[in-house]
Amino acid sequence: MIPSTYPDDATMAQMTARMLLDIRAVHFNTDELFTHASGKQAPTYIDCRKLISYPRIRSAAMDFLTCKVMRDAGLEAFDNIAGGETAGIPFAAFVAERMALPMSYVRKKPKGYGRAAQIEGEMPEGARVLLVEDLTTDGGSKLKFVDAIRQAGANCGHTAVIFYYGIFSDTEARLAEHGLKLHWLTTWADVIAEARRGGDFDADTLADVERFLHDPDGWRADRGLT
């Protein structure tokens, strides 16, 4: 079912941040750092995959994402919903169900056997595709998925995520240069604000995390990290 009503952007951002905090998907630790996929260490980690295990929270977040995309891109803007391997697959399925549209998914690289497919499911040539993912940092992985969709003959000008880091100033411009519009529900700034309101982390931890988010390279350099 397609949701018919939705809160404003600020309310959705705050509520989504609270959901992620409530299910302990947000991790801050300024002593024992997390290693990200880039190989760099950070005091922050967010695990949006945990949403799939919480049906009520998951449903609310997917209603928000669906409504926001339909409002910002149009009610009849898409023919297909695609998820990126692997984290985007369940969220694409939830959005596709709400929008009553076919779903497909995009592999990180072509399968090395059988049809050697990179797109799984039906994605007709010329289809207008919405790429759904769990989160984006600097947008790099989204471009690879979009390129695969376009190489398959479909069109992809929009991507939607639950969580957007919002700390790299050129992310949206970088995506726009690639003909891609980013839609998101909440950011680190929203999570920090909600964590401060709710007392989820102590003040010193939040202050140090904010320093990191404002200048990740400088924060690492101060600690002798690369």
Domain count, the chain: 1
Task: Please list the pLDDT of the chain residue by residue as tens digits (226 residues).
Answer: 566 678 999 999 999 999 999 999 999 999 999 998 778 899 999 999 999 999 999 999 999 999 999 999 999 999 999 999 999 999 999 999 999 999 999 998 886 554 557 999 999 999 999 999 999 988 788 899 999 999 999 999 999 999 999 888 888 999 999 999 999 999 999 999 999 999 999 999 999 999 999 999 899 999 988 7
From the list 94, 33, 48, 52, the residue with the least C-alpha distance to 216 is: 33
Q: Is residue 211 part of a domain?
A: no
Q: Can you spell out the DSSP letters for 21-34? A: HHTT-EEE-SSSPE
Amino acid at 168: F
Residue 82 lies in a domain: yes
Task: Of 146, 137, 143, give the one whose Cα is nearest residue 170.
Answer: 137
Do 104 and 123 form a contact (C-beta atoms < 8 A)? yes
Q: Which tokens sit at 61?
A: 């977040």
CATH classification of the domain holding 183: 3.40.50.2020
Whole-prediction pTM: 0.93
Q: Is 66 a domain residue? A: yes
- Tell me whether residue 213 is in a domain: no
Q: Cα–Cα distance between 188 and 175 in angstroms, integer?
A: 19
Residue 197 sits in which domain range?
Answer: 9-201
